[in-house]
Chain A
Amino acid sequence: MTDRDRAFVAFDGVQKSYDGETLVVKNLNLEIARGEFLTMLGPSGSGKTTCLMMLAGFEVATHGQISLGGRPINNIPPHKRGIGMVFQNYALFPHMTVAENLAFPLQVRRMSRTEVQEKVQRALDMVQMGGTEFAGRRPAQLSGGQQQRVALARALVFEPDLVLMDEPLGALDKQLREHMQYEIKHLHERLGVTVVYVTHDQSEALTMSDRIAVFNDGVIQQLATPEDLYERPENAFVAQFIGENNKLDGMVTAFADKEARVHLDGAEEIGALAVNCQGVGFRTMLSIRPERVLIAEPSAPNQLQGRVVELIYLGDHIRCRMEVAGRDDFIVKIPNSAKHSMLRVGETTPIGWLTNDCRALDAA
């Protein structure tokens, strides 16, 4: 019960279907702590927006319960939930000026004129749009980045405890997007609001979040901190979706104390960390990050032969595509240091890795 108390937002067995035939969200259980920055990450159509809309009250959950601050909110209309929201296209009211847009949530709460003015100015200052030239402009007279800031300010101006953001940076160029990521992150830290953030950009998710929920096919595949998600993916989907990943298919032949012996399809047997494989005789997918592969390191416990297919020089490191165990999409990142002799295309070299760096996951 204490657990439930701590959860500020809780999805409890939530399902959603639009057409009565397919479930877009399947049995969602998720608890978000007060002040947390949680990101929903997943490919297109995986049900992220749907979850957000159910939380905001614009879609009804077909089954299950959503609660906010310990109170079930399934039957509370959106305008009484007090949740701030930033939409992908900002949804700034085109017929109102920036100041009027920001004043809107305060006016519907019947605040006094002076209070409204003061809060609007404070919110604009907060997103560095406090200059007098902006307040009187219409949204159409602002750049994309400025519109984004105003949308952010509008979602925060009435001081909600929870702010939802649905791909708020999707329409910005890369540089501005990265800049805004930091600004949103800092705002979150300063104000202490709870943020539920939706994106399908994994680097965005990794930079900003306290925890990330990886969605696929209406199911949370893994809910973990950015570090855990990258270092310790729990299934094949997460390993493939987050960061760059080498996969090797094989069959489990032995299983002992966290370590599995895997017989690769390329007819070699190696050891791997058993994370998510069902047991002896089942197929598995091995996952190794490119930067964890060791080149010509005789001390490495798992040794294979790799033939260099392609070399790309990237300054700080060299990206090497190899043919390993019958697959030719095995990527190795070789640091550009004096320690490594230059490889040549066509050359065969021993490669290896630590058993802990090679994770045996479910066969995808």
Chain B
Amino acid sequence: MANGDSVSGPILAADGRPLRQSLARALRLQKLRALMLIAPLLIFILVTFAAPIADMLFRSVENAIVPNTLPLTVAALEDWDDASGQPPGEKVFAALRQDLLAAVAAKAHTKLGSRLNYEQTGVASLLRKTGRRVKRMEEDGDLAAQFAKIHKSWADPETWATIKRFSSAYTSGYFLNAVDAKLGATGIEARPENERIYIFLFERTLLLSVVITVACLLIGYPVAFLLATLPMRTSNMLMILVLLPFWTSLLVRTSAWKVLLQQQGVINDTLVFIGLVADDGRLAMINNQTGTIIAMTHILLPFMILPLYSVMRTIPPSYMRAAKSLGATDWTAFWRVYFPQSVPGIGAGSILVFILAIGYYITPELVGGTSGTFISNRIAYHISSSLNWGLAAALGVILLVVVLVLYWLYDRIVGIDNVKLG
């Protein structure tokens, strides 16, 4: 101690270097080794998780196809006033001809057509038709008239307004579309009643997910309680039953619900047999919301039971005994002593089930019919059928944001420290 006091400045290690430096050197090797151990996982996560999310975020606003395919037209349109009610002048049509000639050579005009078709129906066929004929145009003739002859839409200022609105490299169009709005002549406006679908789907997804989470909690809590309190042998047996679904294919389980729930299915047959429902009044329990709720509650139940169980297992039985010895009835002892201590498990299980439910795809697709599908089914449709990846990305981003907001709310209200997985 006296030695350390007499030397001012940094404390030195045995070899004369400053101690702090030697320590950092000693730890660096450890850190490096730790990093190497997690490197495979890190790379895997970057490639399969972080990169796709970044790509999705980018795609939801990316719009390079318009300025890339029609560079001259976009530049020429700068001077045109889209509120004038008149189609643009000859200069713009000349630029359009140039751009289209290049685009047709590169076979890019149909892609541009599908992109702009999301914003204004009919543009796809307009561009396809124009692309076939643009080569035969006379260069010095009245281009506006020639274009109008190919398709009258070229004389419509609305077409040009659409091109101008989506001429920048980034667009809010996909996001507006995803919330049932669009960029009209006068700014953001709601879509007509019959075209609205996504807000409604988001609402349905959230509502059904809440219902499924609550159902899982109501069914799972007593099971987890039994698992945690029964003697080892019995509870192990019960645990196997809880885990059994994990050993069966998801598809098989979902299809089994089809067999059980359909109108000519086992449950309806039984109900008719015992006379609870009439033969012509068979219950519709599949291909609607009921089907989705039943099948998804079943499939997500283990994700509720396991966190609940692992928290409940850590609650010693002596607490309940203490409460009873202090004069509490079974119910009071449970409600005031056991239940509060199981809340972290409820939090963990509910978050897990809710987040899994909100993004679930395969089960609603199979048993949801039209009234029981989720937003993720719509996303899948845009990715694999309509190929509108931008919109799919925008919907995905919104879903992600909703989950993050809910998570934040949960943290504010319950506190994320109160979530325990065991």
Residue positions of A touching B, CB distance < 8 A: 56-58, 77-85, 87, 89, 91-95, 104-105, 108-109, 154-155, 158, 164
B327 engages A91 (CB within 8 Å): no
- Contacts A87-B321, A91-B322; is A109 near B316 (CB within 8 Å)? no
Collect the chain A residues with CB atoms within 8 Å of residue B318's CB.
Answer: 87, 89, 91
A94 engages B321 (CB within 8 Å): no
Q: Which of A79, A81, A82 is the most central at the interface, judged by chain B CB atoms within 10 Å of its CB?
A: A79
B327 engages A79 (CB within 8 Å): yes
Partner of B326 from A57, A77, A89, A104 at Cβ < 8 Å? A104
A89 engages B316 (CB within 8 Å): yes
Closest 3 CB pairs of A and B: A105-B326, A91-B322, A85-B325
Partner of B319 from A78, A81, A85, A91 at Cβ < 8 Å? A91
A108 engages B337 (CB within 8 Å): no
- Contacts A91-B316, A93-B337, A95-B340; is A108 near B321 (CB within 8 Å)? no
B325 engages A83 (CB within 8 Å): yes
Residue positions of B touching A, CB distance < 8 A: 316, 318-319, 321-330, 332-333, 336-337, 340-341
Main secondary structure of the interface of A (DSSP, over half): loop
Collect the chain B residues with CB atoms within 8 Å of residue A83's CB.
Answer: 325
Collect the chain B residues with CB atoms within 8 Å of residue A105's CB.
Answer: 326-328
A158 to B336, CA, bound (A): 18
A87 engages B322 (CB within 8 Å): yes
A319 to B167, CA, bound (A): 103
Chain A nearest Cβ from B90, distance in angstroms: 79
- CB closest residue in chain A, given B326: A105
Collect the chain A residues with CB atoms within 8 Å of residue B329's CB.
Answer: 79, 108
Collect the chain B residues with CB atoms within 8 Å of residue A92's CB.
Answer: 322
- A91-B318, A93-B322, A93-B323 given; name 20 further pairs at CB < 8 Å: A56-B325, A77-B324, A79-B324, A79-B325, A79-B327, A80-B327, A82-B327, A83-B325, A85-B325, A85-B326, A91-B321, A91-B322, A94-B341, A104-B323, A104-B336, A105-B327, A109-B327, A155-B325, A155-B326, A158-B327
Collect the chain B residues with CB atoms within 8 Å of residue A93's CB.
Answer: 319, 322-323, 337
Chain B nearest Cβ from A360, distance in angstroms: 45
B323 engages A84 (CB within 8 Å): no
Chain A nearest Cβ from B420, distance in angstroms: 13
Chain A nearest Cβ from B345, distance in angstroms: 13
A93 to B341, CA, bound (A): 9
B340 engages A78 (CB within 8 Å): no
A227 to B194, CA, bound (A): 96
B316 engages A108 (CB within 8 Å): no
Collect the chain A residues with CB atoms within 8 Å of residue B340's CB.
Answer: 95
Chain A nearest Cβ from B10, distance in angstroms: 38
Collect the chain B residues with CB atoms within 8 Å of residue A80's CB.
Answer: 327
- Contacts A91-B316, A95-B341, A108-B332; is A85 near B322 (CB within 8 Å)? yes
- CB closest residue in chain A, given B340: A95
Q: Which of B323, B324, B332, B336 is the most central at the interface, judged by chain A CB atoms within 10 Å of its CB?
A: B324
Q: Which of A57, A78, A80 is the most central at the interface, judged by chain B CB atoms within 10 Å of its CB?
A: A78
A173 to B330, CA, bound (A): 35
Chain B nearest Cβ from A149, distance in angstroms: 16
Partner of A84 from B316, B325, B332, B333 at Cβ < 8 Å? B325
A242 to B325, CA, bound (A): 32
Collect the chain B residues with CB atoms within 8 Å of residue A95's CB.
Answer: 340-341
- CB closest residue in chain B, given A100: B336
B319 engages A104 (CB within 8 Å): no
A248 to B214, CA, bound (A): 72
Partner of A78 from B321, B336, B341 at Cβ < 8 Å? B321
A109 to B332, CA, bound (A): 11
- CB closest residue in chain A, given B339: A95
- Contacts A108-B327, A158-B326; is A58 near B337 (CB within 8 Å)? no
Collect the chain B residues with CB atoms within 8 Å of residue A94's CB.
Answer: 341
Q: List 20 A-B contacts (CB under 8 A).
A: A58-B321, A58-B324, A79-B326, A79-B329, A79-B333, A81-B325, A82-B327, A83-B325, A85-B322, A85-B325, A85-B326, A95-B340, A95-B341, A104-B323, A104-B328, A104-B336, A105-B326, A105-B327, A109-B327, A154-B326
